[in-house]
Structure formats: structure tokens, C-alpha cells
A and B are shown apart, each in its own frame.
Chain A
């Protein structure tokens, strides 16, 4: 946990960084590994959550959706930023988690924490099953496979309308008070702190995961799978595990959304949802976990305000923003800020 695994190739470029080998990249790669450690900056996240609560007093629903988006973006960062698995269908796991939590609350028990666990578990199982196909593919094929999986799940949700409610969505289920004491009310206080708590736990776990040998190994695989294979690392099983974990976290995000909103729609499985989380990560930067925070906050808040100000131009503005970010801040906004120092 303390020493950087030396065989990791320093000639290959770090994820989403400027291409081309060189000594500058060695520093970039090394720095990105160092960033995984716990830093004082992590306390800033706590402050952020508190500020969020204070400033968003009357907009807690929106603030909670930001928190859910952050958890979702974290899950994608695990798969894509750390594992190098490119996916356009990550919403599949979000959706599976959401429906699992909703169905659990409807048919088994309205207790939220167990519902969340069930959501994560279901999503992880689906992730593990599909991982075998996805991690072995590369490039466009990999993207298409993830897309195909997400679309199949979406259509399945439509076919089984009786269970999922189809387009009408699945609603009308109760969520029991958290710890038996804090009810989920209209004002959203409990919802916010529930989401905040889950986010902190998830973040802590992710952070811990990427600092384990496992975490370093998958980053190595991302950099140079051939080299890792030569070192005797079982590449496919490692990636499958990573993908399943990422899917599980996405499922937790979905379950959270389901419980806080008490309704799930098919849009949770849609391509738009997958594209949105990808954009969040692009804006924020992959491979550093912080990027998920930046990207999700910026994206959700912007899209919410833009929808109020001028919905038509939101799309154009987003497009321009994407172009500019990829061109000038390829490591995302959080990377761009680091560069300023």
C-alpha cells in the first residue's frame, strides 16, 4: 500500500492525458498515484456537504440529486478512470439498483438501508455477469457491448411492465424512517443527510479500494494490459471484479435515488442517463475520484439552472463546454485546476 508498483509502465500515457511518451508523463502518472492517498483536501468534502445543506435549504431535492449523481459518477470513475473500461451503458446498473430498491420496498420491506444493500448487490451481480463479455473487448466493440446491454435491459423493463410499471414508472412504495427515527419528508432533510452519509461511506470505500494492491493492479492494467499479463496478473478476473464493484456502487446510487424520490422511471436505464454521467466525468476528470465531485456538481446544477433560463440553448452550451474542456482541460476541470498551481 505504501510503495508504487514499479513495473507499471511510465511510457504509456495516463488516462485522458495528452498522448505521447516523455518525462513529463512520468511525473503525471506518479502524481496521479500519489493523489490516491488520504489528504487534508478530503476534509473539504465534508465542508462541502455542510455548505450544501446550508445554502440549499429550500432546494434540498436538487441538492440530494447532486449527491446521488456524485455517487453514480464515482462508480463510473472506478470502471473507466481506474480500470480503463469504456462504457456508454453504465446507467444499466443505476437502473437495476433503482428498480431493485423500489421492488424491495414494495414487496419485502420498506427499510431503507437493507434496500440499499439489495440494490447494490443486484447491480453487482448483473455487472459481474456482463463483465465477462465487456472486459475482454476493446475500443468500439467494448462500447457497443455496454450499450447493447443497457438497451436490452431498458427494453426488458418495458416488456415486464407489470413488474416495473413500464413508462408509467414504479411508484407508490413507502420508505420507512431511517434508523427507525428519521422520516423521509417532503422537505428533504432526511433525504439529504441520508444521501450525504451514503456518499461519504462510498467515497471512503472507493478511496480505500484504489489504494489497495488490487486498486494499483487495475490501474496497471489500464496503462498496459500486456505488461501486466506478462507479470502474471490474471487480467480478466481482476477487471471483472472491478466492473462488478463499479456496478454495485452504481446500483447503490440508483437505490438511493429510488428511496429518496419514492419513484423510479425507465429513464434511469436510458442512454441519456449513461451519456450524462459520462459527460459529468469528462467535465470533472477521470482517475482521481475528485473529478466525480466536480463534474457531477457542475453538470447537475448547470442543467437545472439552464433548464429554467433557456432550455433550447442548454444543449448548444453543453456541446461547446465539452469541446472546450476536452481541448483545453483534457484531464477535466479538477485536473485543469491542479495545473494552475
Chain B
């Protein structure tokens, strides 16, 4: 029985191979009307905030562009739920989107593992992937079809450290969550700080999922630094740490807490007034004072309600769609990954976050990084920028060409 199975299997595999070769053809055919874009995000589970935000960014862009009209073509967005930080699932989804749905572009990706999971697929199929999150710099090296419109940990950490040193910081402790982006942040903070003459008095790695920070704060207190750089993923860890920091009155003990993405407006209500005065460095805040952003926020509120505020996620998806549209224009709707990427590399535009461009060498976004403080806007907590580092290129790529 086994040999018959094998024979059948082999014949089927051969047929399959023929079908595959034939299938390559239709993949290249131009579709004049509808161009599908695959949106990969977290729609279920603990990270579903990302799904909601990406969807909003995409929807807003579509609404502002006649339902997705780009020249003679119409963009249609197809969602898939990554369902957690699961690279195998992300790969399967990418594969399904490319093979079954015939998407020409992929957009989204909430985390580094899920973005990396698709690397193989986009390399084989030559499908551009517009990364909206994932702070790890090395990701864009894994495929020439990645272009990032989010931010990298290095690009926001270096300006923060520079600011801290300017303010007279001499000894710093670095507290990060113990996972890959955390390790990136540790390196970014540490190396930069040392190169600017500071001393890193200690590094504290907090296991993922920690909710009780008492031990780690005790450690920090014992390290006797004047500045604490932190990196935690958005959500319970970030909120918990900042609150605990204030609860333990470490700020009163002379420690200045500095962070990057941890004061996102979406998390601030959970932290509450304990966040006031927190200094962070990031590329965007809905309270950013420039005309493009004001219009963007107004349109966002008009569409999603007066209480809604855009975030780095919805912004990234919004800008990401713009990049996709440019690529569609450049290829005139044909599935030509190389031509699309060539066009993307030339892009420059006015984003709500300020003037941005895509670095042709690294395919990373080049943008402003703002140093901000948390303050109250009316009765909402938000970030007010007071210093700008313009046109920041990703430092990791600069140091590792």
C-alpha cells in the first residue's frame, strides 16, 4: 500500500510542479482594474490594538483618495490576522495572500518576527512589503523588497541619548524588556551614551510578561544613576514600569526617566498623571504642531469620533498606503516588484510627522525625531515637542553599512 501511495504522491507532485510553473505566468499579468494589497496585522488576541490602528490608517487614506483610486486602478485591501507574534503563521498568511489572493503589495506587520516570517515569500514572489512597525534595524537587510515607514529603535534612541548628555547626564542605567528589540535598544542606548562620554552604570533586563517591577526598580535604585533609559513594548509592561517608577518615588530620588515609545498617547490614560513630565523621543505625536498634522488629526477625528487620536500605528499605515500608491503609479498597475521598489526609494513627502523621505540605500524612512515632554492638553495627556532632530537616518545602518 505504501508504494502506491508514494507513486500517486510523486505523480501529483509532478503535476503540481507543472501547475506551479504555469502559475508563475498569471502572477505577472497586469490587472487594470483592481489591485489587491494585503494588510497583515493583529486583529485578535492581546495585541488587537495594532489591528484597529492599522485599519484606521488604511481606511482614512482610502477615504481621502476616492476609495483607493490611483490613476486608472483601484486599490483593494485584504486583511489577514497574524494572531500573535507567530512567524510561521505570518509566513503562511503572506504565502496565501500572494498565491491565493494575488496581492501585489503587502503592508503592515506588527512585530519583527511576523515581518521576518514573510521575508522568504516576498523574496521569491518579488512582492514589496511596506513595514509599518518593527523597530529592529536589521530587518530591511533581509530582503530588497522591504521598505519601512515606521521607525527603528536606533533612530529614536540616539537623539534621546544626545539630548540627555546635552542636559548633563553622566551616569545612566538602561532598563529593557528581555527580547530582541529590547536587546537592540540596549545596544543603541549603551553604545551611543558611551561614545558621548557617559558611563553606563548598569543594565537591567526585565523578562517579557513581567507585571511586578518591584525587584527591577530596586535594582535601578541601587545602581545610583542620574538617568534611566527604558525600553518596554507598548502595553502592560510599559505602563506598569512607569507607574511603578513613580510609585516608588524614584524620580524624587533624583533619577530622570527617559523613554522612546513608552509615552504613546494610547497608553498615557492607563498611566495617568504619573506620566506628567516624562521625557521621550519619538517621531510622532498627534499633538505635533504642524499644519499637515493638524489637518490629519482633524480628518481622523471626523472619521473615527471626537475622542479618537491617531497613533504611530495609524500614521504608519496611512503613510504606508501612500507609498503603495506611488509604487502602483510607477508600475502602472503591473506587478513589477523591482520597478516598484525603485520608485519607492525616490519618495519624499510631507507627512503629518513632518517632512520625510525614503533612504535609497537602506529603504528606511528618514524623518524628524522630536524630544517631548508629557503634559496636559485640556484634560487629555499628550506629548509636547520642544526639540527637533531633523532628517534622522537610521544610525544602525550608518554604523553597519
Contacts and interface: CB of A to CB of B under 8 A. Distances in A.
A62 B80 CA distance: 13
B112 A65 contact: no
B128 to A, nearest CB: 15
Contact of B88 (A155, A204, A268): A268
B199 interface: no
A265 B118 CA distance: 13
Interface stretch (B4-12, B188-196, B316-324, B360-368): B4-12
Contact of A188 (B80, B84, B85, B99): B99
A186 B48 contact: no
B124 A261 contact: no
B13 A262 contact: no
A262 B120 contact: yes
Contacts of A171: 87, 116-117, 119-120, 142
B44 A311 contact: yes
A267 B86 contact: yes
A196 B9 contact: yes
Contacts of B19: 187, 189
B45 interface: yes
Given A166-B179, A168-B180, A187 B86 contact: no
- Provide the main secondary structure of the chain A interface: helix
Contacts of B13: 182, 189-190, 193
Contact of A158 (B12, B88, B112, B178): B178
A225 interface: no
Interface stretch (A28-36, A53-61, A81-89, A109-117): A53-61
Nearest to A197: B9
B81 interface: yes
A172 B125 CA distance: 15
Contacts of B181: 167
Given A189-B13, A311-B48, A263 B117 contact: yes
Contact of A263 (B2, B87, B98, B112): B87
A176 to B, nearest CB: 15
Contact of A62 (B43, B92, B112, B125): B92
Contacts of A2: none
Contacts of A188: 95, 99
A315 B81 CA distance: 14
B121 interface: yes
Interface in A175-191: 182-183, 185-190
A265 B117 contact: yes
A259 B98 CA distance: 19
A200 B92 contact: no
A134 B197 CA distance: 54
B46 to A, nearest CB: 11
Nearest to A46: B5
A302 interface: no
A45 to B, nearest CB: 10
A187 B88 CA distance: 16
Given A172-B119, A189-B19, A200-B5, A166 B180 contact: yes
A9 B320 CA distance: 66
A201 B3 CA distance: 11
Interface centre among A167, A261, A308, A315 (most CB of B within 10 A): A167
Contacts of A196: 9
A307 interface: yes
B81 A308 contact: yes
A161 B91 contact: no
Contacts of B120: 171-172, 262-263
Contacts of A3: none
A336 interface: no
Nearest to A162: B183
Interface of B: 2, 5-6, 8-9, 12-13, 16-17, 19-20, 23, 43-45, 48, 79-81, 83-88, 91-93, 95-96, 98-100, 111-113, 116-117, 119-121, 124-125, 136, 142, 178-181, 183, 207-208
Given A189-B13, A193-B13, A311-B45, 7 more contacts: A166-B180, A169-B117, A186-B125, A187-B99, A189-B16, A261-B92, A311-B48
Sorted nearest first, the 9 A-B pairs with minimum C-beta distance are A311-B44, A189-B16, A58-B100, A169-B87, A265-B87, A61-B92, A167-B179, A307-B81, A61-B95
22 contacts: A59-B100, A60-B99, A61-B92, A61-B96, A62-B96, A65-B92, A158-B178, A158-B208, A161-B180, A165-B180, A185-B124, A187-B99, A189-B19, A200-B5, A261-B88, A263-B117, A265-B87, A272-B84, A311-B45, A311-B48, A312-B44, A315-B44
Interface of A: 46, 50, 53, 58-62, 65, 155, 158, 161, 165-169, 171-172, 182-183, 185-190, 192-193, 196-197, 200-201, 204, 257, 261-268, 272, 307-308, 311-312, 314-315
